[in-house]
Amino acid sequence: MMEHLAQILLLLGVAVAVVLAFQRLHIPTSLGYLLVGVILGPHTTGPTVNVPEFKVLAEFGVVFLLFTIGLNYSLPQLHALRHQVLGLGTAQVVFTTAVVGVLLWLAGVPAAGAFVIGAVFAQSSSTIIGSQLAEQGEENSPHGRLGLAMSVFQDVTAVPFLVVIPVLGVAAGADVLAGSLGWAIAKAVLAFALVFFAGRWLLRPLFHLVTQRRSAEVFTLAVLLVTLLAAWTTNSLGLSLAFGAFLAGMMLGETEFRHQVESSVRPFRDVLLGLFFIGIGMLIDPAILPQIWHWALLGGLLILLSKILLVAAMVHKSGIASLMAWRTGLLLAVGGEFGFALLAIALDAKVIDVHLGQIALTSVLFSMIAGAFLIRFNLAIATRLTGARRVEADTIPEKILDVQEQRVLIGGYGRVGHTIAVLLQSSGVPFIAFDSDVQRVAKGRADGHQVLYGDISDPELLAAVHVERAALVVITVDNPATALRAVTYMRSNCPHVPVIARARDLESSSRLLDAGATHAYPEALEASMRLGATALQMLQIPTGDIDVLIQGVRDWGYKPIVEAEQNEKNKIS
């Protein structure tokens, strides 16, 4: 391993420099990793990284990517959404694959290769769409939500390709192909059954046992074990590693540990996925670009035009205004990273040759670059296409998109968190609560509340639950350090979200307020004031006067009470 250390250091150095530059320029980092692969690949002059274990590590990037996708789409969720965005996402993938595949087959590309490239071209980049929309302030717009939801659902509907594509490389002839596909589907059903029943009977008890130890290290090891065991199971059946990881993610997505699992696996996923894109970049040969640029350009145009037209037609057919339908089509026109994953599987299975693979790779790359501009100017282009004189109101029928409500996020489900949850539920306010005590989580779920396992101060967990979309965050944990870490993270990353925190005393309250909490109520002082307020009410003091008095004490930072207590102590001493 030591002989490869210099190459590993070179790889890390170039990756850090390129990714930093791309982030400063607000360019998706996946393109940066591709550039790193081109720079350090065998097809360019200069240093080349050639580490035998690199390809194996890079493959696990796709494994963990599919695992996290599975976490977000458990069986109940997929069933509930089967008539909504899932239908549009599935139709887009199927029709794009069919249209592109038929066109390429008519152009002389072998049927198997045409099918694979059609599947590759059908994918859209959730990363590029999400980051570009966020930069433009359109991530919460109706067309933005619909486009991003469809792009994410593409990943789910593309999972069958993980089963089909490897078969195409070994089957020859219609009879053999039909038999191989049938056998592959049978093995996929068997794998699903194994993972499903193992998940139902073993996963929840396993993670209950693990979380009782209160060890983040053991929890992460358990997540890695489950992910890789599921991947090994499907691989042993002749299917892809990624398919097993997806199934494991689906099973864990039904448990109360879902978000903490995602936060634990995210660092591994991001690093390994970066290595995967570097590996894809190493396949790109700039030297043959002069020979294939016109075919790659045509391929890029085929990606963009096919998806714009198909998506716009389907969305408009579902009852959405034409302007919004075109805007959604422009968002989804961009090529996708998952297409690279399918292409890598096809090249490894020898379904397509290297020359055709180069054209497909470059086509997707061109579409990703051009697609970013289509997203940026989607309103102007859609307005021109529809001939609209003014901007139509963007509306989505409820049957098409189940818009996620802004929820309250509760950190801690002890007595205070439970009380707040009861009040919110009684008021019809949606919320989600987290606690790192598995027994409290079980109690909350028994109460009918949405309580999940997780540490509210974990940055990865807060990112996984999209804390920036919360209507309010209430920190009720009784650990001052945990509360302080959570408030500090939220003020740094989502200052627009109001935060109310529970504090033990005035000192803890001051620290939380300094860290950025909107309000931080010290328990002892608040209890004293509520007792005092009750006493005043019993003495017939008007309620309005009592409220003004209490708020005045709060506005003064509880100084009247603290000073009174201090004077009493001085008298005693």
Any domain includes 527: yes
Domain assignment present for 209: yes
* Cα 143 from Cα 151, distance rounded (Å): 12
Q: Is the same domain home to 459 and 525?
A: yes
List of residues 6+ apart from 21 with CB closer than 8 A: 32
Residues 285 and 418 in one domain: no
- 382 & 416 share domain: no
Check whether residue 368 and residue 467 sit in a common domain: no
Q: What pLDDT does residue 333 have?
A: 92
Is 262 part of a structural domain of the chain? yes
Contacts of 82 by beta carbon, 8 Å cutoff, 6+ apart:
none
For residues 177 and 59, which has the higher predicted lDDT (pLDDT)? 59
Residue from 102, 106, 82 nearest 94 by CA: 102
Find the mean pLDDT for residues 414-442.
Answer: 87
Segment 338-387, tens digit of pLDDT: 888 888 888 888 888 888 988 998 999 899 888 888 988 888 898 888 87
Report residue 211 as tokens.
């979380």
Locate 131 and state its tokens: 């980051």
Report d(CA 83, CA 88) in Å as an integer.
8
DSSP assignment of 308-347 equals: HHHHHHHHHHTT--HHHHHHHHHHHTS--HHHHHHHHHHH
CB 48 within 8 A of CB 275: no
8 occurs within a structural domain:
no
**SS3 label, residue 409:** strand
Query: 345 and 456: one domain?
Result: no
Question: What is the reported pTM?
Answer: 0.67
The residue type of 218 is V
Closest CA to 100 of 85, 70, 120, 125: 120
In a domain, residue 2? The reply is no
- 421 and 302 assigned to the same domain: no
pLDDT classification of 391: cutoffs 50, 70, 90: very low
The enclosing domain of 479 has a CATH number of: 3.40.50.720
Number of domains in the chain: 2
Give a yes or no: residue 207 inside a domain.
yes
pLDDT band at 393 (very low <50, low <70, confident <90, very high): very low
Cα separation, 495 vs 516, in Å, equals 8
- pLDDT computed for residue 404 by the predictor: 45
* Residue 567 vs residue 225, higher pLDDT: 225
Question: 10 Å Cβ neighbour count for 41?
Answer: 21
Q: Amino acid identity of 16?
A: V
Q: How confident is the model at residue 117 (pLDDT cuts 50, 70, 90)?
A: very high
Q: Is residue 29 part of a domain?
A: no
Beta-strand pair 431-435/472-475: unpaired
Confidence (pLDDT) at 86: 67
How many Å apart are CA 36 and CA 282, to the nearest integer? 8
In a domain, 18, yes or no: no
Are 209 and 351 found together in one domain? yes
**Beta carbons within 10 angstroms of residue 392's beta carbon:** 15
Domain extent, residue 352, equals 53-386
Strands in 451-453's sheet, in edge-to-edge order, are: 451-453, 431-435, 408-411, 472-475, 499-503, 519-522
Q: Are 318 and 400 spatial neighbours (Cβ–Cβ below 8 Å)? A: yes
Last residue of some domain: 325, 351, 386? 386
pLDDT of residue 299: 92
Does the pLDDT of residue 555 top 70, yes or no?
Answer: no
CATH code for the domain of 90: 1.20.1530.20
Q: What percent of the chain has pLDDT over 70?
A: 83
